[in-house]
Structures are given as C-alpha cells and as structure tokens.
Structure 1
Amino acid sequence: MLPWKRVLRPLAAVLLTAAVALVPATTAHAATAPSSGWNDYSCKPSAAHPRPVVLVHGTLGNSVDNWLGLAPYLEDRGYCVFSLDYGQLSGVPVFYGLGPIDKSAGQLSAFVDKVLTATGAAKADLVGHSQGGMMPRYYLRFLGGAAKVNALVGIAPDNHGTDLNGLTKLLPYFPGAADLLNAATPGLADQMAGSAFLTKLNAGGDTVPGVHYTVIASKYDEVVTPYTSQFLSGSDVHNVLIQNLCSLDLSEHVLIGLTDRIAFHEVANALDPAHATATTCASVLS
C-alpha cells in the first residue's frame, strides 16, 4: 500500500461515518434513559453516598452499553446511579452523542434536574467518558450546572479537543470535508482541536468555582490525542495518568471507560475522597 493511502485510510473512515449520518440534527429529542437496572428513580441516596451519580456516555455511545461495567460497580458500592442518552441525530438510533454539543449540554441539564427531583438530593456527581467527560463542562459554565453539581469525573475526556494523531490537519486538503463534518455530525466537528465550540468552552479557564474536577487518562489513548490534552488546569483539579498507578495497564480510549477497574477505582475515590484508598494494579480485584 502506498504511504499516503496508509495515512488517509483512517481519515476516510471518519468522513464515511459522517456521510452515512448526513441527516438533519434534531434538538427536539428529550434526553431519556431506558430502563437498565440502574436507572431506579425510587433510589434514595444514603448518608454515606448522599449524591446521585449521573453517567454521561461518549460519542457513538448510549446510556446502557457505555456503562455495563461502571454502573454495576458503583451500584454495588451503594450509589444511586443514573444514565441518559443525548445528542441524537434524526434517523440514527442506538448511536448518540453526534448532535451539537451545546444542545447536548441542555439535555444533560434537564436530566440532572429530573434526577435531583426524584432523589431529593441538592447536588449530583457527574461521571463521563470521552465527549461525556467534556460536554458537562459546558453545562457547568454556561447553563447553571455549577450550582447543582459537586464533582465532574472525566474518563478520557477530550477537554481541549483531539487532532486524531494529526489526521485533522489533513481536512483542508479535502475540499468540503470540514463542511461535511459540521453538517452531518456536528458533535464530531465540535470535538476537533481548535473548533469554535472548544474555543468558547475553554476561554477564561478550564474550570468553574465550586466543582471538584478529576480527569483519568491513558497514555495509550488513540482517539483523544495527544493524551495530555485531556488534562485540566485549575485549583480544584486532580489529573490522573492511569499508567502512573499501574504501569501494566494497557487500556486505550474505549477500554478505560468500559472495563478498566483501575480507572473505576479512581472514579470511586473521586466520588468519595474522604474514604479514598490507594489505586494500584491490585485494584482490579477490588
């Protein structure tokens, strides 16, 4: 295979995904979570865990599949756990997180209100994977979420966008490619490093007062690149590189959110820092 074909093939896959999804985005979709074991609206937070946990899936994820590992893990530890679908494109079922991210943040806002009303809690904790770890920052900064959220834990979040290992720099060489991404899958376009959405989100600092931030990243992440772009700056930020806790952990972008119990242990520490325990390779047994 010619060298340029090896470079362009991954980019072509991204653009093909966008072309398949070339349908108008709808903002009428109400963020809802299908019944899935954890979305129990009769659950009342305990004194030990007084805040419900809202799980926010990533791009192309959904409220169930993204959390088949972490949701039961947190439930087993006594948390009231909820998850939502957001960012649906008209005519595209199952795969969410493709709509404009500012609209998705509005859906998260409505969902958090629903959870707080059902549980009677004053605040919630948010845990998100990929886009789901970054999108809530818009809710916190621009939609009043800081008054309703205690902590945001991002697992492999694209807080400062991604360059897809440099592939996004090739977009200008494909006439119309950028326009196609914006029109077909605005949620993807918003996550590209340097996008107008990210420029607005990160202007004036990464965090807002009153919210505790944790970022859990892997140096093997092949989607949010460079992986250091995931980290936040601020006075109440805890940035974690998972390999510093267990050098044997080879999880990349998907697995760190789906199955990585070392990452899960760090999530539990972030949700209950007063009872945090050291995270090591042995944490897979906890």
Structure 2
Amino acid sequence: MSAGESTQGPRPPVVLVHGTNDTSASVADLAGALRRDGRAVTLLDYGRHRRGLRGGTGAGGLGPLPASTREVLEAVRGLVADLDAPYVDLIGHSQGGLHVLGCAAAMPERVAHAVLLGTPLAGLQPLGPSSRVAHVGGLRHALDWALGPSVRDMIAGSGRLPDLADLPPGPRYLLLASTDDRLVPPGAVVPARLDHAVRVVWVQDVHPGRRVSHTDLVADPLVYNLIRAELDTPR
C-alpha cells in the first residue's frame, strides 16, 4: 500500500480509491480538483497480484476483493489516526467503490461520505444470464490468472459483492453512474433490491445528453460538480 501526498485541510480529508488494473494515477485529475477546492486528499494504491498475467504491469486492483478491502481499510484507519480527523470522506472509482463501502461498514462513525463512481453493485454479467459459469472449475482458474481474482469476484454470483441492506446508518452513501458506461453498464450498477441506503444518481438525469464513459467519471467537470455538492452536504 502506498499513499500520495496529503495536506491538511479545514474539511474532512478525502481518500481516493482507484479501480481494477489501475493505479492512483488514474484519479489524479479528481485529486487535483479537490485540492483546488481546499480539500486534503490522499490517493491509495492497493491490490497487487503478481501471480497472474497482469501481475507484472505494476497495476493494482487485481487481488481478491476481501483482501483488498482489508488493505484499504487499514490505510484509511491509519490516515484518520495520523490526522486526528473526526471524519473522512471516501471516493471510489469502479472496484474502488466496493472497498469504500467496506470501509464505511467497518467504521461508520468516522465516515462522512461514501461516494461511488461507476461501481458494479449488482455484479458484472459479461455472459448475460450464463455469467455464473465464471465461478466453475477450470474457467474460474483461467479468469483469475488472466484478469486477476478481483474481476471474477465482481461477476454476479461470486458471493463477494456487498449486501447493501446491511450498510450501517451514519455515512451518506452516493453512487454516481453513467448510461454511457460500457465497462459497468446500467444492469451491473443497480441491484434488484432498492431498500438500501445507497442513493443512485445517473449523470444523464442531471445533465441530459452528457456523454460520460467509465473513465470519464473521475475527470468530467460536471460529474465533479455532483461530487463536490455531495461532499458539501452535511453528514
């Protein structure tokens, strides 16, 4: 685990958590925008998995979801202790949003906002209704080696996606998603159950016609305005 530069600010510090097969560099634009608004920002790198095909690239977000959540949680707890901050704001892109939820569930009394960007809460379904075969026998091991265990963990039926009904009260939970997202399409975003604490906002409902891809969610200025408005809303 490594952390980018962090500076003290008047509002809760912000932790940014990148997505799959990526590094903290992928959220650098978002970090810059937050810092220009006077926020203290820490960028985390996590989830290295050297045993697979992608392991030599230096990217993270590849390891099993539970292990990565523990890694991120340890870093967030250390940051809160070091800064003596009463609250922290967490923002996760794609897979990173799952770890943000894990942190909020583990320490709800210290998390003010949990903001998810294009996170597959309902689970990916690359093969449609047949996607559960990804968790069977040889295909399971092949996927883990080729793509990293995290990818299969995010496929529907893995048993490793969060139960949103179990999220504790306290933090504000927001998922920002785009109908243009091809990596995490709408069907992978919203679970069938709606009786949970996560508020889902589609970018196109706020800005009709706006084209925002999966990677644009961490760089689009209109998306940033939605993030900033959420962080400015009291816990």
SS in 1 for 2:151: helix
Per the alignment, residue 254 of structure 1 pairs with 215
> What is residue 9 of structure 1 aligned with on the other side?
none
**What is the DSSP-based 3-state SS (H/G/I as helix, E as strand, rest coil) of the residue aligned with 1:146?**
coil
Q: Which residue of 2 aligns with 1:94?
A: 58
* Residue 158 of structure 2: aligned partner: 195
Equivalent residue, structure 1, for 2:20: 59
1:170 shift after superposition: 8.3
The aligned counterpart of 2:91 is 127
AA matched with 1:211: P
Secondary structure of the residue aligned to 1:176 is helix
The answer to whether the 8 Å contact 1:207/1:233 transfers is: no
Q: Provide the C-alpha distance between the structure 1 equivalents of 2:67 and 2:132, rounded to a whole number of angstroms.
A: 28
Q: Give 1:236 deviation, angstroms.
A: 4.5
The residue matched to 2:112 in structure 1 has which SS? strand
Aligned pair in 2 of structure 1 residues 68, 230: CA closer, same or farther (>3 Å)?
farther
Which has the higher Rg, Structure 1 or Structure 2? 1
Which residues of 2 match residues 115-264 of structure 1 at below 5 A? 115-141=79-105, 144-164=106-126, 166=128, 169=131, 171=133, 176-182=138-144, 185-198=148-161, 201-202=162-163, 205=165, 207-227=167-187, 229-230=189-190, 233-234=194-195, 236-257=197-218, 259-264=219-224
CA offsets, 1:19-50, max 9 Å, x none?
xxxxxxxxxxxx212x4xxx22xx2231xx2x
**Could you say which residue in structure 2 is the equivalent of 1:270?**
230
**Alpha-carbon distance, 1:180 to partner:** 1.8
What is the rounded CA distance, in whole Å, between the counterparts of 2:108 and 2:145 in structure 1? 31
CA shift digits 1:54-82 (9 cap, x unpaired): 0010001111x211211010000010000
SS of 1:128 mapped into structure 2: strand
Unaligned residue ranges in structure 1 (runs of 5+):
1-30, 275-286
Deviations 1:110-131 (A, max 9, x none): 1112221232202211001000
- State the match for 2:2 in structure 1: 32
Tell whether the 8 Å contact from 1:221 to 1:227 is kept in structure 2 after alignment.
Answer: no
Cα distance in 2, alignment partners of residues 194 and 235 from structure 1: 19
Question: How many residue pairs end up in the alignment?
Answer: 227
Is the 1:133–1:157 contact (alpha carbons within 8 Å) kept by the matching residues of 2?
yes
Secondary structure in 1 aligned to 2:56?
coil
> Aligned residues: percent identity?
28
Q: Counterpart of 2:20 in structure 1: which amino acid?
A: T
Runs of 5+ in structure 2 lacking a partner?
Answer: none
- If the length of structure 1 is used for normalisation, what is the TM-score? 0.72
Cα RMSD after superposing both structures: 2.4
Structure 1 residue 159, shift from structure 2 partner = 1.2
> How far has the Cα of 1:175 moved from its partner?
7.0
Measured against aligned partners, the alpha-carbon deviations of 1:210-239 in whole angstroms (never above 9, x if no partner) come to 111011000111111334634684564332
Deviation at 1:167, TM superposition (A): 8.4
